[in-house]
Amino acid sequence: MSNPVVTKSLYERLASFRYKLRVFMQFSESVAKEVGLTPQQHQLLLAIQGYPGRDYATISEAAEKLQITHHACVGLVSRCQKSGLIKRRRNPDDARSTLISLTDKGLILLEHISEVHLKQLQDLKIDLAFFETTIP
């Protein structure tokens, strides 16, 4: 193989990124637990608030973002609602679906966790732009 597409340098960068990603994920789970959330609850809050173009999502959209089944997402939504983190409302455009959004409590917790996460990403020096220009 005379001109490899994936160079040794790229393997090293990918390995470093994967390591930093694992460190970040463990950190993220720890921070969620410190504020009384499960990692899945934190991920749901982030998926809802971070949904493109709006601050709510359907349960199906959240399930897709979390890569879980619709049924599992319904259970997670129910637990988050019971904890006062999210609220449900009927979708005025489609009576078959429910819209979910954060409560003030959920938003306060998410803001705190997100601030801590952004600092950790800076500390890990994770530069996601690298992958936009490096992949052949």
* Domains located in the chain, CATH noted: 8-134 (1.10.10.10)
Using alpha carbons, select from 111, 113, 124 the residue that is nearest to residue 31: 113
Q: Output the pLDDT for position 39.
A: 97
Q: Output the pLDDT for position 2.
A: 56
Q: Output the pLDDT for position 4.
A: 67
Q: Which residues contact 74 (CB under 8 A, 6 or more apart)?
A: 59
Q: What is the pLDDT of residues 110-132, one digit of tens each?
A: 999 999 998 888 887 766 565 45
Residue numbers of the chain with a pLDDT score lower than 50: 131, 135-136
Q: Output the pLDDT for position 124.
A: 76
* Sequence letter at residue 13: R
Q: Output the pLDDT for position 113.
A: 97
Q: Output the pLDDT for position 110.
A: 98
Q: Which residues contact 42 (CB under 8 A, 6 or more apart)?
A: 28, 31, 32, 110, 113
